[in-house]
Amino acid sequence: SAAQGPNAVRPIRLGMVGGGQGAFIGAVHRIAARLDGAFQLTAGAFSSDPERARASGAELGLAPERVYASYAEMAEKERARADGIEAVAIVTPNHLHFGPARAFLEAGFHVICEKPLTARLEDAVELARVAAGAKGVFVLTHNYTGYPLIREARDMVAAGRLGRIRVVQAEYAQDWLTEASETTGSKQAEWRVDPDRAGAGGALGDIGTHAFNLLSFVTGLTLDSVAADLSAFVPGRRLDDNDHVMLRFAGGAKGLLWASQVAPGNENALKLRVYGEKGGLEWSQENPNQLWFTPFGEQKRLATRGGAGLGAAAARVTRIPGGHPEGYLEGFATIYREAAEAIRAREEGRPVPDGVLFPTVEDGLLAMRFVDACIRSARDDSRWTPLQP
């Protein structure tokens, strides 16, 4: 843009699939993409309803000819333009990740996609295959990996400060599906309780995958098998709304994951606790600027974002000094900043710079294998069930 000097890096031109009027996460992606100036929203296929798509694009100030009635039309027309989009954000319901993700990867675009990776495991396997051979980068928005203190926690575990990990407790509790809100007009609830659109997992796919991705990111542990007890407490609901899952990791560590959307009083209560032979860590998404480190036999230590004693990985993704709260939007924007780093490296034929971290298609596939194993376990009276290789 005109405000940029001659040495400024040009923003990456971004298209969006989904995220029209009334949608939730699309608007978050637009904020996240803007925060560091690395992307510019240029085109969109915002809705399955062409009129709503058009109105959404107009509201966002896009040129009318860059607002499309379908993602397929956007891929085709943008590919033909000299100033066409370079990357696409996919923010549609779960069953509409696979089609656009594959189409845009095959057309040579970079893809930033919402979680869970797909609605069906077989689609995730296929998408991972396509992404591995694609020209573009694939980024999955498990956004909680963007928090500075989560980067710190990951480095502390990797550096052995907790010793060998024994116990992992991960939970993501919400209350917004406590009643049958899918029948009272919630756009977000309506598709989430439909197996055809959400996939085989309910709360498990929606928020259990976040908890699983986060614990994997921080601990580096490899999940071997699960024993899952999945419930649909709200009468008539066809997908799980409360999940208890025991976890066995390679090397002997054990874990417990609780995902619930029927726990009154919980908003976005994603929590992670990790305990090793030498100490523990505790972090909570609703207070993301604090991390407890509890070395065994010593005083507990409270690490603060931007505060004393943090390592380089946290500093790299810290935007403002400690004490000024950073939160969900900044963490989300960090995934976009990492995506921009990876995209520019790919375009220039360089390796991704050191320290740049983002969830990949393989992380998405692993989370889908986790969901699949939980469902198979639950159907077999919570029997211990290995992840499909």
Residues in contact with ligand NAD by CB under 6 A are 17-20, 23-26, 45-48, 71, 91-94, 96, 114-115, 141, 143, 187-188, 191, 206
Give the number of other CB atoms < 10 A from CB of residue 242: 21
192, 196, 199, 203 alpha-carbon torsion, rounded to 10°:
30
- Nearest-angstrom CA–CA distance, 283 and 273: 6
Distance CA 192, CA 202 (A): 7
The CA distances from residue 66 to 12, 106, 107, 172, in Å, are 16, 20, 17, 38
Q: Which of 112, 116, 126, 94 is nearest to 370 (CA)?
A: 116
Q: How far apart are CA 198 and CA 148, in angstroms?
A: 30
Q: How many CB atoms neighbour CB 264 within 10 A?
A: 11
Closest CA to 207 of 187, 226, 225, 188: 188
| Pair 257, 243: CB distance under 8 Å | yes
The full length of the chain comes to 389
d(CA 112, CA 350): 20
β pairing state of 254-260 and 301-304 = unpaired
Q: At what angle are helices 328-347 and 25-34 packed, to 10 degrees?
A: 60
Write the CA distances from 182 to 174, 195, 236, integer angstroms.
15, 13, 11
Q: Which long-range contacts (CB under 8 A, 24 or more apart) does 367-370 make?
A: 367/115, 367/116, 367/117, 367/142, 367/209, 367/212, 367/213, 368/116, 368/117, 368/118, 368/121, 368/124, 368/209, 369/121, 370/208, 370/209, 370/212, 370/223, 370/226
